[in-house]
Structure 1
Amino acid sequence: MHVKKGDMVVVISGDDKGKKGKILKAFPKTGKVLVEGVNIVTKHQKPRPGIQQAGIIHEEAPINSSKVMLFCPNCNRGVRYKTEILENGEKIRVCKKCNESLDK
């Protein structure tokens, strides 16, 4: 998968096109990601004694990872990236437009 937990991404297609958010969870087997504030669904919750109240809650649902693009804070938009290997053998992701590191 081209993105991982903690990455800032921008949605490139669908109802939430243009929204930015951080990846909360990645599901590599299904190819989906859970993005903060994106793909909000309404869920009707039954009460559980001592644990949870009943009601209508709004929460994020997973979207396909192909619908998100890694966000570059330097370019201020979604970008493609390339992988570079440093002298110490560490791999980092680098923006193809501005050649800035996307990994912290």
Structure 2
Amino acid sequence: MAKIKKGDLVQVISGPKQDRGGFRGKQGRVIEVLVERNRVIVEGVNYVTKHVRQGQTQRGTKTGGIETHEAPIHVSNVVLVDPDTKKPVKVGYRSEEVVKDGVTKTRRVRIDKKSGKDLK
């Protein structure tokens, strides 16, 4: 089970500090999780410039140029942030029984290891 999901608030914990042009300590929402590569794309973090070849659409408008967008970073370089306190937390799991339509199912819930409260 993945500790980080799309839409989570995360904080970068490695790399150069922000005053040196890095992203350490910066928080942002997860845009996409690349499970097979163990990477996440975080909003506003790890910007790269990409040169796109100039082309032409059916209408005749020009495309291409220099674009900037977020690049993926490794999952081990980010940590989940508690939405209430806005501080990084370590994540654990707890089993929870859910009864739906008379059927009992067990599911795993993400919790803060220190306080034991649920992380939504």
Query: Which sections of structure 1, spanning at least 5 residues, go unmatched?
Result: none
**Match for residue 59 of structure 1 among 50, 60, 69:** 69
Question: Could you tell me which residue of structure 2 aligns to residue 90 of structure 1?
Answer: 107
Distance, in Å, in 1 between the alignment partners of 2:63 and 2:115 is 49
Identity within the alignment, %: 37
Give per-residue Cα distances to partners, 1:17-36, cap 9 Å, x unaligned: 01111111111111111111
Higher mean alpha-carbon deviation, 70-79 vs 29-38, is at 70-79
**How high is the TM-score relative to the length of structure 1?**
0.87
Kindly report the root-mean-square deviation, in angstroms, between the aligned alpha carbons of the 2 structures.
1.7
**Structure 1 residue aligned with 2:18:** none
1:79 aligns with 2:93: no
Q: Report which of the two has the higher share of strand.
A: 2
Counterpart of 1:92 in structure 2: which amino acid?
A: V
| Paired letter, 1:90 | R
Q: 8 Å contact 2:8–2:80 — kept in the other structure? A: yes
Letter in 2 for 1:30: R
SS in 1 for 2:56: coil
What TM-score comes out, normalization by structure 2 length? Answer: 0.77
Measure how far apart 1:92 and its partner are: 1.1
Q: Which runs of 4+ in 1 moved over 4 A?
A: none
Task: Give 5+ residue unaligned stretches, structure 2.
Answer: 16-21, 99-105
Q: Aligned-pair distance for 1:37? A: 0.6
Q: Which piece of structure 1 moves more, 52-61 or 11-20?
A: 52-61
What secondary structure is seen at the aligned counterpart in 1 of 2:36? Answer: coil
What is aligned with 2:19?
Answer: none
1:21 is matched with which residue: 15, 19, 28?
28
CA contact (8 A) 1:81 1:95 kept: yes
* Whole-angstrom distance in 1 between the partners of 2:55 and 2:88: 42
Alignment length (residue pairs): 103
